[in-house]
């Protein structure tokens, strides 16, 4: 397992991050703990969860699994989503964040978080209030670093600028949806992260399961995650003509090099300059082991470029206009 620094920090994280969203739901506690221990035994050190996953059960299981191995783990969790019935049980107010971090620490059975992330932009709370609270948490020792997730480029840049101007802790990472079939972040977020040295830890790196290769065109699945998911990971969002074209290319490469489509999709991300550590999940030990098999090898350059080409976004304004005048 290789390691990379996370953004503008000296924190080393494994090139794969283990996502805990399925723990306590699709994966029972016993297998969840087994996955975590196996991940650590194979050199992984980066684990991501959130206070809202399975009503906090995911955090509790992660905390139980790492209790005797806390020093090995770069532990990340998130705050923002509604976790109770009361008006202040969501968002980024000082009150919610202060309560949220203590609740997460208790469930995770630890006295500090390596990375505390804002789950998605909050239109209600001024970012100034949120960043001041996060800065206080870092000063207190409860949190080591901060990050964000699902932010627009202007939102992240506003936060970074405010932190820099007021000499406060700044985001070292962002967690966006990004994969061969979701490359919207190429427009603004990835160039911004490269410019500002912000780490990128993508969620849904195999397109919510679409890039595993088990789905067929014009055949809506009756079982599995894409059969009943809504929003970003719905069948309607995934099963487009363009996405099946990308999937076909992934399957061809997988057959050529003797890997699975999921491993090819993950490895493409591992070789992308701006990407720090894709977050992979699993609903079974077999799936976990398959995803772990995406590390410690590299796609041939020709095949990597082919996948990059087939999946890239159209050349859009103002990017094409700016590129025209790159050299004067």
Over residues 83-113, the pLDDT tens digits come to 889 989 899 999 999 999 999 999 999 999 9
Residues 140-144 have a mean pLDDT of 98
Supply the pLDDT for residue 321: 87
| Beta-sheet strand order (sheet of 143-149) | 199-200, 171-175, 143-149, 113-118, 74-79, 46-48, 17-19, 279-280
- Model confidence, pTM: 0.94
Superfamily of domain 3-210+262-299: NADP-dependent oxidoreductase domain (3.20.20.100)
Supply the pLDDT for residue 235: 79
**Least confident piece of the model among 52-66, 165-179, 314-328:** 314-328
Confidence of residue 228 (pLDDT cuts 50, 70, 90): low
Please tell me the distance from the alpha carbon of residue 235 to that of residue 101, in angstroms, as a whole number.
34
Across 44-193, the runs of DSSP E, i.e. the strands, are 46-48, 74-79, 113-118, 143-149, 171-175
Query: How much is the mean pLDDT over the chain?
Result: 95
203 Cβ contact partners less than 8 Å away, ≥ 6 residues apart: 19, 149, 175, 176, 177, 178, 279
What are the pLDDT digits (tens) for 166-216? Answer: 999 999 999 999 999 999 999 999 999 999 999 999 999 999 999 998 888
Whether 53 is a known active-site residue: answer yes
Confidence of residue 222 (pLDDT cuts 50, 70, 90): low
Please tell me the distance from the alpha carbon of residue 266 to that of residue 138, in angstroms, as a whole number.
32
Confidence of residue 309 (pLDDT cuts 50, 70, 90): very high
Confidence of residue 328 (pLDDT cuts 50, 70, 90): low
Please tell me the distance from the alpha carbon of residue 264 to that of residue 291, in angstroms, as a whole number.
10
In this structure, the chain runs to a length of: 328
- The residues spanned by each domain of the chain are 3-210+262-299
**Least confident piece of the model among 81-85, 270-274, 306-310, 323-327:** 323-327
Supply the pLDDT for residue 110: 98
315 Cβ contact partners less than 8 Å away, ≥ 6 residues apart: none
Task: Give SS3 for 246.
Answer: helix
* Helix (H), strand (E) at residue 127: helix 127-140
- From the list 96, 37, 87, 92, the residue with the least C-alpha distance to 62 is 37
Supply the pLDDT for residue 234: 79
Confidence of residue 225 (pLDDT cuts 50, 70, 90): low
What is the rounded radius of gyration, in angstroms, for the C-alpha atoms of the chain?
20
Residue 163 pLDDT > 90, yes or no? yes
Supply the pLDDT for residue 304: 98
From the list 3, 53, 92, 116, the catalytic residue is 53
């Amino acid at each position: 397992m290789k390691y990379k620094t996370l953004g503008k920090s000296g924190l080393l994280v494994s090139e794969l991050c283990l996502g805990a969203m399925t723990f306590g739901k699709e994966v029972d506690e016993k297998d969840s703990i087994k996955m975590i221990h196996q991940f650590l035994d194979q050199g992984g050190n980066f684990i991501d969860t959130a206070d809202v996953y399975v009503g906090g059960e995911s955090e509790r299981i992660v905390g139980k699994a790492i209790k005797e191995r806390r020093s090995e783990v770069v532990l990340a969790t998130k705050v923002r989503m509604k976790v109770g019935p009361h008006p202040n049980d969501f968002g980024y107010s000082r009150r919610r964040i202060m309560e949220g971090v203590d609740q997460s620490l208790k469930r995770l059975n630890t006295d500090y978080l390596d990375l505390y992330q804002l789950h998605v932009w909050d239109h209600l709370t001024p970012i100034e209030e949120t960043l001041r609270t996060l800065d206080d948490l870092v000063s207190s020792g409860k949190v080591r670093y901060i990050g964000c997730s699902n932010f627009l480029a202007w939102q992240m840049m506003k936060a970074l600028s405010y932190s820099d101007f007021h000499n406060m802790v700044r985001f070292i990472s962002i967690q966006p949806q990004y994969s061969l079939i979701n490359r919207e972040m190429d427009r603004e977020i990835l160039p911004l992260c490269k410019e500002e040295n912000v780490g990128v830890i993508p969620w849904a790196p195999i397109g919510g399961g679409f890039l595993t290769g088990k789905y067929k065109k014009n055949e809506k699945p009756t079982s599995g995650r894409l059969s009943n998911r809504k929003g970003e990971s719905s069948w309607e969002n995934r099963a487009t003509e363009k996405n099946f074209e990308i999937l076909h290319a992934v399957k061809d490469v997988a057959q050529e090099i003797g890997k699975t489509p999921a491993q090819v999709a993950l490895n493409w991300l591992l070789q992308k300059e701006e990407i720090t550590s894709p977050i992979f999940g699993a609903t079974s030990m077999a799936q976990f082991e398959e995803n772990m098999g995406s590390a410690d090898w590299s796609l041939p350059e020709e095949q990597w470029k082919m996948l990059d080409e087939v999946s890239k976004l159209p050349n859009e304004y103002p990017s094409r206009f700016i590129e025209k005048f790159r050299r004067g």
